[in-house]
Amino acid sequence: MLKLYVDQDFFSPYAMAAFAALTEKGLSFEALTRDLAAGQQFEPAYRAQSLTSRVPTLVDGDFALSESSAIIEYLEDAYPDTLRVLPVDLKARARARQLQAWLRSDLLPLRDERSTETVFGRKPVLPLGEAARKAADKLIAVAEAVVPADGGNLFGDWCVADAELALLLKRLTAEEMPPRLSAYAERQWLRPSLVAWRARQAR
């Protein structure tokens, strides 16, 4: 059985993406946790598997791989007969990867002020500072450009970029973004794979 190492609190957006990919593909896997606050990611045995001492890390037999983007790409290639979680079309897949890379590398003020602990209800929602507000405006502009007019999935069929964009949008309140984007984020939030991720937080 595949193994996926994630953070103990199930807060990591990167672990969530890998978890969603495995779940959507219908692959049997065991979710194991590392207590990042206690430094378990630096234990020698885990470091030997992860290489980067981070979560998520996927273990498939004698092969281990960290970094969620690499994990998702690996799953697409290693299990081609399962549901695709990245677009099949070349240009759509490139656009999905562009969005994923941007969501992971930009918008830092927003991600700092509204961490996933806020998204998952563990911290209160506070007013955004000026830098975070500018980052939110940038996020909204990009989301309005890529989310279809009907609020459906980004590329027709669901892909993991939908989950990642929804998580960023969920850092904003419904009042802080256009209704169409709020509805899109809420619809994605009800995706069974994301519901399953959030359910782990209550255990």
Q: For residues 18 and 27, give the distance between their C-alpha atoms in angstroms, rounded to a whole number.
A: 12
Residue of higher predicted confidence among 115 and 1: 115
156: number of Cβ within 10 Å? 12
78: number of Cβ within 10 Å? 14
Residue range 139-165: average pLDDT?
A: 96
Closest by CA to 13, choosing from 95, 151, 120, 94, is 120
Looking at every residue in the chain, the average pLDDT score rounds to 95
The whole-number pLDDT of residue 170 equals 97
Residue range 23-47: average pLDDT?
A: 94
Residue range 141-156: average pLDDT?
A: 96
pTM of this prediction?
0.94
The whole-number pLDDT of residue 46 equals 93
Looking at the predicted structure, is the pLDDT value of residue 202 above 70?
A: no
The whole-number pLDDT of residue 1 equals 86
Give yes or no for a contact between 139 and 88, defined as CB atoms under 8 angstroms apart: no
C-alpha of 14 from chain center:
5
What are the pLDDT digits (tens) for 93-144? 999 999 999 999 999 999 999 999 999 988 999 999 999 999 999 999 999 9
Query: Letter for the amino acid at 79?
Result: Y
Question: Residue 81 gets which letter from DSSP?
Answer: T
The whole-number pLDDT of residue 17 equals 97
The whole-number pLDDT of residue 203 equals 60
The whole-number pLDDT of residue 201 equals 86
Q: In the chain, pLDDT over 70 holds for what percent of residues?
A: 99
